[in-house]
Amino acid sequence: MSDTTHHGPPTGIRRWLFTTNHKDIGTLYLVFSLVMLFVGGAMAMIIRLELFQPGLQFVNPEFFNQMTTLHALVMVFGMIMPAFAGFANWMVPLMIGAPDMALPRLNNFSFWILPFAALMLVSTLFMPGGGPASGWTLYPPLVLQTGDAFPFVIFSVHLLGISSILAAINIIVTIMNMRTPDMPLLKMPLFVWTWLITAYLLILVMPVLAGAVTMLFTDQFFGTSFFQAAGGGDPVLFQHIFWFFGHPEVYIIILPSFGIISQIIPTFSRKPLFGHDSMVYATASIAFLSCIVWAHHMFTVGMPLAGQLYFMLSTMLIAIPTGVKIFNWTATMWRGSLSFETPMLFAIAFLFLFTFGGFSGVMMALTPADIQYHDSYFIVAHFHYVLVPGAMFAAIAGVYYWLPKWTGHMYDERLGKIHFWLSAISVNLTFFPQHFVGLAGMPRRIPDYALQFADLNAFMSIGGFLFGLSQLLFLWGVVRCMRGIGDKATDRVWEGAQGLEWEVPSPAPYHTFDTPPVVK
């Protein structure tokens, strides 16, 4: 067999270890992400269990802090980013009519770094001194008190960063270089656009995070004092560098979500996306703004007044392009012909609850008020609204939306609807009350709390358990399709679906678009 002829998937484990196929790698990313959802979710369950009642019942404070830290790191770097990388791998080549990703072997490399890095990260829990307990923000000097785990944490962050950077480069090049010849940039589907911009953000900020943790590393082991005043450094310097990465990071998470939502809403409204071009410009503006607002996470560190003013005002600006997106989605539904299959339900929940989370974001941008909100559960509420019913719901919506294309089988619509309603209700039971305990004065990252917070915390914990259990339905639904249970899916799958990915059979053949397709 010559290198250029068609070949199906190799069989057995080799297929998965050595693959260069974008669909296989996409599947690997998605499966890994699903596993990490349960790992990070289990940690969240431990957090909620300990917070169920005042007093310490189950874990020690040290371990609690390790759970908080690893829950966040696992969810952000292990669950949500790989999920979107999986979507990109599967869908970008299909949507732009490319035979595969630009550099398929590099693609597999990017993927396999991930599970190894995650393994190293989670293994720190079993080291002397335990895992990192400084919060996912890794602020010094506290993070320097980590035990033996410290260098392992640093290097796993490096590895995660390498993985993301290489994946992002691959995606950019695929999009820029592999589009079918008659698809100009502005005709690209929005999911592709959002990923293009996300990938630029990734190569812009992941190296900076690598630099930041490298400085932590030398501070710890080589006597440097980047973050120590006695040597002329400043602990706050780390916060600046971290958030220069960290704030774009949250948009790295949300932009692909926007992309998925921008595919789903038109499909189930049976109408093209409203204001396609302005959606592109809004996405680009959000990405640009996200790079210049980082210190809104640091309103209490004692920045000079001018700095506080600047970061407050620039942060508020982000509401404008984000608003454009929300309004365009609403206008897409306007005078449409809506139906409410599971992907659409999750997309609509995203629309409502992400907007809601955005509102609390704008409130926190107001510095004098944020001084009260900062490091309280109000923040925890904000970011779980944008991350869980925001990003994670978008990912779930995307899975339901494309699962038939991936597996060739329809998911169980009734199961999907039950999953949706349980999730949508319990996610609010979990995170809505966090606003109130936060405003009432409950700090975040504490294993135990004063008695006036007891009732609501019990309530939130129950909501959290319910939400966690609901995700088992998701798992079940996905596994069913993967094992080939369920109705055969048609090629187009959804009545209103538009785009190249729906022109190929379901399940998508192992190789697609060996010759560039014609865009209608």
Partner 1 sequence: MIPRHARAIALSLLPVISLPAGAAPSGWRQLNLPVGVTSISRDAYDLHMLAIYVCILIGIAVFGAMIYAMINFRKSKGAVADRTLTHSTKAEVIWTAIPAFILIFLAWQTVPALIHIEDTRDSDMTIRITGYQWKWHYEYMGEGVSFYSALGERSNTARQRNAALRPAEVDHYLLEVDEVLVLPVGAKIRYLISANDVIHAWWVPELGIKRDAIPGFINEGWFRIDQPGTYRGQCAELCGKDHGFMPIVVEALPPEEFAAWLAARRPAAQAALASSQP
Partner 2 sequence: MTTTTHQKYYVPHDSAWPIVGALALLLIGYGAATWISQLDQPEARRGPVILAAGALLLVVTLFGWFGKVIDESQRGLYSDQLDRSFRQCMSWFIFSEVMFFLAFFGALFYARVVAVPWLDGAGNNEMTAEILWPQFEAAWPLLKTPGGTETQAMPWSGLPLWNTLILLASSVTLQVAHVAIERGNRARLKLFLAITVLLGATFLFLQGYEYMHAYRDLGLRLDSGVYGNTFYLLTGFHGLHVTIGALILLVVLLRIVIKDHFTAERHFGFQAAAWYWHFVDVVWLNLFIFVYVL
Q: Is 135 in the site for partner 1 (CB under 8 A)?
A: yes
Tell me whether residue 163 or residue 314 sits nearer to partner 1 (CB atom): 314
Q: Is 374 in the site for Cu ion (CB under 5 A)?
A: no
Residue 195 bears catalytic tag: no
Q: Is 151 in the site for partner 1 (CB under 8 A)?
A: no
d(CA 394, CA 191): 12
d(CA 82, CA 163): 10
Q: Is 351 in the site for partner 2 (CB under 8 A)?
A: no
Instruction: Report the nearest approach of partner 2 to the CB of residue 37 (Å).
Output: 22
The conformation of residue 117, written as its DSSP 8-state character, comes to: H
Size of the site for partner 2 (CB under 8 A): 87
Nearest one of 431, 270, 259, 428 to 347, comparing CA atoms: 259
Q: Return the residue of 53, 137, 224, 278 that touches partner 2, per CB under 8 A.
A: 224
* Residues of this chain, 37-56, that bind partner 1 according to CB under 8 A: 54-56
Cis peptide before 128 (omega within 30 of 0): no
HSE-CB at 451 with a 13 A cutoff on CA atoms is: 0
Tell me whether residue 36 or residue 392 sits nearer to partner 2 (CB atom): 36
Residue of 22, 296, 384, 435 with catalytic role: 296
Q: Which amino acid is at 442?
A: M
d(CA 158, CA 166): 12
Cβ-contact 290, 314 below 8 angstroms: no
In angstroms, the first-to-last Cα distance of the chain is 35
DSSP code string of 143-188: GGG--THHHHHHHHHHHHHHHHHHHHHHHHHHHHH-S-TT--GGGS
d(CA 394, CA 254): 9
Q: Return the residue of 28, 30, 46, 71 that touches ligand HEA, per CB under 6 A.
A: 71
Q: Is 43 in the site for ligand HEA (CB under 6 A)?
A: no
Q: Which amino acid is at 330?
A: T
Q: Return the residue of 14, 15, 221, 337 that touches partner 1, per CB under 8 A.
A: 337
* Residues of this chain, 96-155, that bind ligand HEA according to CB under 6 A: 135-137
SS3 call for 54: coil
Q: Which amino acid is at 383?
A: F
Burial class (CB in 10 A: 0-12, 13-18, 19+), 184: exposed
Q: Is 166 in the site for ligand HEA (CB under 6 A)?
A: no
Residue 297 bears catalytic tag: yes
Q: Is 390 in the site for ligand HEA (CB under 6 A)?
A: yes
Q: Is 225 in the site for partner 2 (CB under 8 A)?
A: yes
Paired residues of 409 in beta bridges: 488
Residue 374 bears catalytic tag: no
SS3 call for 118: helix
Q: Return the residue of 11, 223, 335, 451 that touches partner 2, per CB under 8 A.
A: 223
The CA angle 374-467-430, to the nearest 5 degrees, is 30
Would you state the structure tokens that stand for residue 178, as one six-digit string? 């592999």
Find where tokens 């809506």 sit: 338
Instruction: Report the nearest approach of partner 1 to the CB of residue 388 (Å).
Output: 19
- Contact characters 408-447, partner 2, x per CB under 8 A: ----------------------------------------
Find where tokens 């007093």 sit: 55
- Contact characters 246-285, partner 1, x per CB under 8 A: -----------------------xxxxxxxx-x-------
Residue 382 bears catalytic tag: no
- Contact characters 177-196, partner 2, x per CB under 8 A: xx--xx-x------------
Nearest one of 4, 124, 65 to 447, comparing CA atoms: 65
Instruction: Choose one: 1-9, 72-80, 187-195, 206-214; the region binding ligand HEA (CB under 6 A).
Output: 72-80
Tell me whether residue 203 or residue 338 sits nearer to partner 2 (CB atom): 203
Q: Is 322 in the site for ligand HEA (CB under 6 A)?
A: yes
* Residues of this chain, 104-143, that bind partner 2 according to CB under 8 A: 104-109, 111-113, 116-117, 119-120
- Contact characters 223-252, Cu ion, x per CB under 5 A: ------------------------x-----
Residue 23 bears catalytic tag: no
Residue 372 site contact among partner 2, partner 1, ligand HEA, none (CB < 5 to 8 Å, cut-off depends on kind): partner 1
Cβ-contact 339, 265 below 8 angstroms: no
Would you state the structure tokens that stand for residue 376, as one six-digit string? 């309280």
Residue 341 bears catalytic tag: no
- Contact characters 470-509, Cu ion, x per CB under 5 A: ----------------------------------------
Would you state the structure tokens that stand for residue 228, as one six-digit string? 């120590």
- Contact characters 350-379, ligand HEA, x per CB under 6 A: -----x--xx-xx-xx----x--xx----x
Q: Is 336 left (phi over 0), alpha (psi -120 to 50) or beta?
A: beta
Residue of 240, 270, 417, 444 with catalytic role: 444
d(CA 110, CA 164): 7
SS3 call for 347: helix
Instruction: Report the nearest approach of Cu ion to the CB of residue 378 (Å).
Output: 14
Residue 262 bears catalytic tag: yes
Residue 512: count other Cβ atoms within 10 Å of its Cβ: 20
- Contact characters 73-102, partner 2, x per CB under 8 A: -------------------------xxx-x
* Residues annotated as catalytic (active site), given as ranges: 71, 100, 136, 163-164, 247, 249, 251, 262, 296-297, 322, 325, 444
Residues at the site binding Cu ion, with contacts judged by CB under 5 A:
247
